[in-house]
A and B are shown apart, each in its own frame.
Chain A
Amino acid sequence: MNDLKAGSNLEKVLKAGHFAFTGECGPPKGANVEHLKQKIAHLKGVVDSVNVTDNQTAVVRMSSWAASTIMLQEGVEPNFQMVCRDRNRLAMMSDILGVYSMGIRNMLCLSGDHQRFGNHPQSKNVYDIDSIQLISLVKKMRDEGKFMNDEEIDVPPKLFIGAAANPFADPAEYRVYRMANKISAGVDFIQTQCIYNMEKFRAFMKKAVDMGLHEKCYILAGITPMKSVGMAKYMSSSVPGMDVPESLIKRLQGAEKGKVAEEGIKIALEQIEEFKEMEGIAGIHLMAIEWEHKVPEIAERARLLPRPVV
């Protein structure tokens, strides 16, 4: 226990060398706790930890720390997400202390989508610090027991620190270096953007392995199963930094009527099998957007159950 950085379930699973499996859950657009609990229930015992998104796509939702707390009460381990768009360093540090005090042990540090995408594009954006500086901050608070200004923290927060990596954004050749910067800043695990272009991802991982990055942090491959051809086309054309190959859209279009979603799941299952064998991949991060109820089935069919108890 002493050699653990935070002692979260996710950390223990990864440290023990198991193939990790994380899920994702968006808080409700309101205070609908019952709906949140229903979504959480689908994930209980099925994944090692669940990312709780922070006003994702800049749309106002229940705060990620509050939803994470509810998740804890429901017996599921949250991975609390924090974006740099909405908080300055004071709010960040106080929320970091707050979530740790509530029993949260994982935190994902993100830049956040620009507010122009969301439902309050009129808002002022903060970006006091960026995602890499946020990683450094959480690490400093944990390992040095100090605030950003070097003042001592009375009981430092011990969090297992995560970050995102998008191998498909531009400039493509720089992406692995950006991930390396996050690792230098002190990240413990990386969850990648949804992967559809496997060829590009294999090249990215080869470079990461050549640089030895997989030995410095755990890399979890991101997967979002396609529910429909429309979703695939939308992701391809309208979601920034998403790379959906034409061949994947064709495959979905070729599926029998009423079987497109099943084809999407099959593609995801094939990806999971490849990731299990891929050098440098420590697990997968399944972002089944508003499809939480499908996660148990996917986990079962991917032979990821039962989850390890560590």
Chain B
Amino acid sequence: MIKDCKKILILGCKGCVTVCNVGGSKEVGILASLLKIARKTGGDTIIVEERTLERQCDPEYVETVKDIINEYDAVISMACGVGPQFLSEMYPDRRIYPGVNTTSFGGAVRHGVWAERCAGCGTCVIHMFDGMCPVARCSKSLLNGPCGGSSKGKCEISNDVDCIWDKIVRKKMEQGRLDDLLVVKEAKNWQTARDGGPRTSIREDIAE
């Protein structure tokens, strides 16, 4: 996609992607070197500029490249999927590409391993399930689980995936609160999730 571009700007982000080791200044540096080596091997040249912004999900930081961005044929954002979109909104005539494949809302369960914890569904149910979310963590998002495929604490889809319902049930039983699960949970209203269309959150007290 950037084969014909001679001047590239790689923009890292100091937020979540830095913490996750995918889009901070270190990774920006690595990508820049790779691009230069690849071009040189192909007998071509390239100019690559590296910058890492405080965040790419706030216009005030995206704005900081306004004086230089026009010098480049293409911009690669190393932020999550939000970054390239904030960039393309502020600089509509620029060619903006994502440098990171955003996967999920998760956390580092151990060094170098991130696991999903939240589906961002807009109607949190974690309080009903003792701090665990079946919407994000059950392969079928069951609100009345576990299904018949739960085996030895693992999900039917893979032995590498924990059955979150196994954990929910065990905790409720161990703590004598099984009754919480003997009430059928009603169908979820997905309007607040992506199913309801793109979402906008407004804090009335601070919105301008």
Q: Are A113 and B156 in contact, with the CB atoms below 8 A?
A: yes
Give CA–CA (A241, B163) in the complex, Å: 13
Q: Which of A149-196 contact B (CB under 8 A)?
A: 164-166, 169-171, 173-174, 177-178, 180-181, 184-185, 193
The answer to whether A169 touches B150 (Cβ under 8 A) is: yes
**Distance in Å: Cβ of B155 to nearest Cβ of chain A:** 8
Which residue of A129, A137, A241 is within 8 Å of B148 (Cβ)?
A: A241
State A165–B169 Cα separation when bound (angstroms). Answer: 17
Is B206 interfacial (CB 8 A cutoff)? no
* B136 beta carbon closer than 8 Å to chain A: no
CA distance A116 to B143 in the complex (A): 20
Given the interface contacts A171-B166, A174-B146, does A240 sit within 8 Å of B178 by beta carbon?
Answer: no
Partner of A85 from the list B140, B181, B186 (CB cut-off 8 Å) is B140
CA distance A285 to B189 in the complex (A): 35
Complexed CA–CA distance, A192 and B90 (Å): 59
Q: Do A133 and B148 touch across chains, with their CB atoms under 8 A apart?
A: no
Tell yes or no: A128 within 8 A of B by CB.
yes
Q: How far is the CA of A137 from the CA of B151 in the complex (A)?
A: 28
Q: Say yes or no for B142: interface residue by CB 8 A criterion.
A: yes
> Which residues of A lie under 8 Å from residue B184 when comparing CB positions?
132-133, 136, 181, 184-185
Contact residue among B169, B178, B187, B190 (Cβ-Cβ distance under 8 Å from A133): B187
Q: Which of B144, B152, B163, B170 has the most CB of A within 10 A?
A: B144
In the complex, what's the smallest C-beta–C-beta distance from B135 to chain A, in angstroms?
10
Residue B147 lies at the interface, judged by CB distance under 8 Å to chain A:
yes
Bound form: Cα–Cα A181–B173 in Å: 16
Chain A 71-86: CB-based contact to B (< 8 A → 1; otherwise 0): 0000000000000110
B157 and A116 form a contact (CB under 8 A): yes
With A171-B169, A184-B184, A240-B151: A125-B140 Cβ-Cβ less than 8 Å: yes
B165-188: CB near A (< 8 Å → 1, else 0) gives 010011001000010011011111
Question: Which of B170, B182, B185 interacts with A177 by CB under 8 Å?
Answer: B182
Q: How distant is A150 from chain B, measured CB to nearest CB, in Å?
A: 13
Whether B42 is near chain A, meaning CB under 8 Å from some CB there, is no
- Quick one: CB contact mask for A232-254 with B, threshold 8 Å, 1 for yes? 00000000110000000000000
B140 touches A241 (CB 8 A): no
Assuming the contacts A130-B143, A177-B178, asked whether A193 and B148 have C-beta atoms less than 8 A apart, the reply is yes
Q: Is the CB of B151 within 8 A of A169?
A: yes
Say yes or no: A169 contacts B170, CB within 8 Å: no
Q: Say yes or no for B139: interface residue by CB 8 A criterion.
A: yes
At the interface, yes or no: B106 with Cβ under 8 Å from chain A? no
- Give chain A interface residues in 113-134, CB to chain B under 8 Å: 113-114, 116-117, 125, 127-133
User: Are B143 and A133 within 8 A (Cβ)?
Assistant: yes
Closest to A137 in B: B187
Indicate whether A166 sits within 8 Å of B148 (C-beta atoms), given known contacts A130-B143, A174-B169.
Answer: yes
Q: A130-B143, A193-B148 are in contact. Are A148 and B173 (CB under 8 A)?
A: no
Does chain B have a CB within 8 A of A197? no
Q: Does B141 contact A (CB under 8 A)?
A: yes
Q: Nearest chain B CB to A194's CB is how many angstroms away?
A: 11
Contact A174 B173 (CB under 8 A): yes
Interface 1/0s, chain A 88-122, versus B by CB < 8 A? 01000000000000000000000111101100000
Residue B107 CB within 8 A of the other chain: no
CA distance A85 to B149 in the complex (A): 14
Assess whether A169 is in contact with B181, with CB atoms less than 8 Å apart: no
Within the complex, what minimum Cβ distance (angstroms) separates B149 from chain A? 4
- Let me know if B149 and A241 touch, CB within 8 A: yes
Contacts A89-B187, A240-B151; A130 near B139 (Cβ below 8 A)? no
A128, A165, A178, A241: the one contacting B187 at CB < 8 Å is: A128
Given A166-B148, A170-B163, 7 further pairs, Cβ under 8 A: A85-B140, A125-B140, A130-B143, A132-B185, A137-B187, A170-B150, A174-B169
B residues in contact (CB < 8 Å) with A: 139-153, 156-158, 163, 166, 169-170, 173, 178, 181-182, 184-188, 190
16 examples of A-B residue contacts, CB within 8 angstroms: A84-B140, A116-B157, A127-B141, A133-B143, A133-B185, A136-B184, A136-B187, A169-B146, A169-B150, A170-B163, A171-B146, A171-B150, A174-B173, A177-B181, A240-B149, A241-B149
State the 10 A-B residue pairs at the shortest beta-carbon distance, nearest first: A166-B148, A240-B156, A132-B144, A240-B149, A130-B142, A129-B187, A111-B147, A116-B157, A133-B187, A127-B140
